[in-house]
Amino acid sequence: MDSTPFIFKEAAMWFLIKIIFSGIIIAFAGWLAGRNPVLAGFIIALPLMSMLSILFSYWEYRDMAKINQFATSILVAVPLSLFFFIPFLLNKWLKMGFAMTYGFAIACVGIAYMIHALIFRTGLFR
């Protein structure tokens, strides 16, 4: 007889369903980018992962206070996450290779995260 608790099995199954569903969306957008980059860009610009994460979190925890805090964090993070694209826009003039541009973009996301953390540490959105 299997000694693994049912709760663990249910949590693992739910986790796998979320991974598969999210992975399908990401893979589809990547595939679509090669066929119709404008449509793929629009789909990726939609807050699909945020929408799914909020939905999955509610289904799993049913805690509206945490969902509200989660949504507020996302709302603050979205404009900051756009820092990722700055090096790609500047690359028109800087003429860096892909690896350097991508590395600079990741560094910009790190800076954006520090700003996000600072905003929430100051208590602006409590």
With beta carbons less than 8 A apart as the criterion, state whether 76 and 119 touch: yes
Q: Identify the residue whose tokens are 């699909």.
A: 48
CB within 8 Å of 80: residues ≥ 6 apart: 112, 113, 115, 116
Residue 65 Cα to chain centre, angstroms: 20
Cα separation, 52 vs 54, whole angstroms:
5
Task: Output the tens digit of pLDDT for each of the chain's 126 residues.
Answer: 556 666 677 778 888 888 898 889 889 988 999 999 888 888 777 788 888 889 988 988 899 999 999 999 999 998 999 999 999 999 989 999 999 999 999 999 999 999 999 988 888 776
With beta carbons less than 8 A apart as the criterion, state whether 96 and 103 touch: no
pTM: 0.68
